[in-house]
Chains A and B, each alone.
Chain A
Amino acid sequence: MDDERLLRYVEGSLPRQEAEALERALADDAALAQRVGRMRSVHAALHDARADGFGAFFVARVMNRLNADEFNAAALFYDSLRWLFARAVVVGLLAIVALGAANVAEYQELQVAASWVEEAFGLPHVDMDNALALAQP
């Protein structure tokens, strides 16, 4: 006997014919009857313990929070800062990419860079020879 059916019987939502068949089975099966009895007790205990509402002035507490949230200047300031910061980050990243692209274009035209890193970051070309030359007094 599946639990869904037993639960619906306990709840009283099982169709009449099925409920009658189950009652006949209960009359012949003591173990099943005991199982249904315990399920009925658990169901009744849970159902009776159902809370009806929150404490007093619950609606007032909700309204206070709603009003406080809507007119909270600190939260508005924080949200504005977040909005500004997010856009500043995007603009900064775009500027970095644009600067890198401009460097690459310029270095390729001059053909003085030895690698894409030097191109993108606008670094002067340094190899062992000119490093030694620079190091000599």
Chain B
Amino acid sequence: MAAVVRGMLGNDAEADDVGQETFILFYRSLDKFRGESAVATYLTRIAINQSLKALNRRRTWLSRFLAREHDDDEFGVQPAETVTGPLDEKERAVRVREALATLTPEYRAVVVLRVMEEYSTRETADMLGIAEGTVMSRLSRAMKKLEPLLGSLR
């Protein structure tokens, strides 16, 4: 669950806050849990929904103050090719988070669930309420967008 929230939101206080909200919601909705899926899947579903809501709030807030002319480089991420020398684990994690931040929340959710959390395409589709084909098309586009940023990380 931490991987999902921090993959979606980064490694800051907001992610911690959403993590707490996720567990509180999970606790309060236990009586609605019918055991149709694993508890971990149920928790992940809550986590991804809370993360998407937080990202939408963040986007609304940012749009009030910032004019976004260049969506592609809004976070100033350099392609990995420009990095000189090998990166240590922390630097790699930072670059991955920055690269993920260039994706829209919908694409980021697919990457986090399908690649980082290793859910199947079907499970990812169920959690996000989209078709399996949509999962794969989003994943394909997201991976293409991430390739210049992460494709040469060593």
Contacts and interface: CB of A to CB of B under 8 A. Distances in A.
A48 B92 contact: yes
B79 to A, nearest CB: 12
B141 to A, nearest CB: 9
Interface residues of A, number: 28
B30 interface: no
B16 A61 contact: yes
A11 B114 CA distance: 11
Interface residues of B, number: 37
B140 to A, nearest CB: 4
With most chain B CB atoms within 10 A of its CB, the pick from A3, A49, A62 is A49
Contact of A61 (B20, B92, B97): B20
Contact of A51 (B3, B121, B140, B143): B3
Contacts of A3: 136, 139-140, 143
A136 B103 CA distance: 79
Contact of A42 (B11, B97, B147): B147
A31 interface: no
A79 to B, nearest CB: 14
B24 A52 contact: no
B86 to A, nearest CB: 13
B20 A4 contact: no
Nearest to B22: A62
Contacts of B6: 51, 54
B23 interface: yes
30 contacts: A3-B136, A3-B143, A4-B121, A4-B136, A7-B139, A38-B147, A38-B152, A39-B143, A39-B147, A41-B150, A42-B146, A42-B150, A45-B153, A46-B100, A46-B115, A46-B116, A47-B116, A48-B93, A50-B7, A50-B116, A51-B3, A54-B15, A54-B16, A55-B16, A58-B16, A61-B16, A65-B24, A66-B24, A66-B27, A69-B24
Interface of A: 2-4, 7, 11, 38-39, 41-55, 58, 61-62, 65-66, 69
Given A39-B143, A46-B115, A49-B7, 4 more contacts: A39-B147, A42-B143, A46-B111, A62-B23
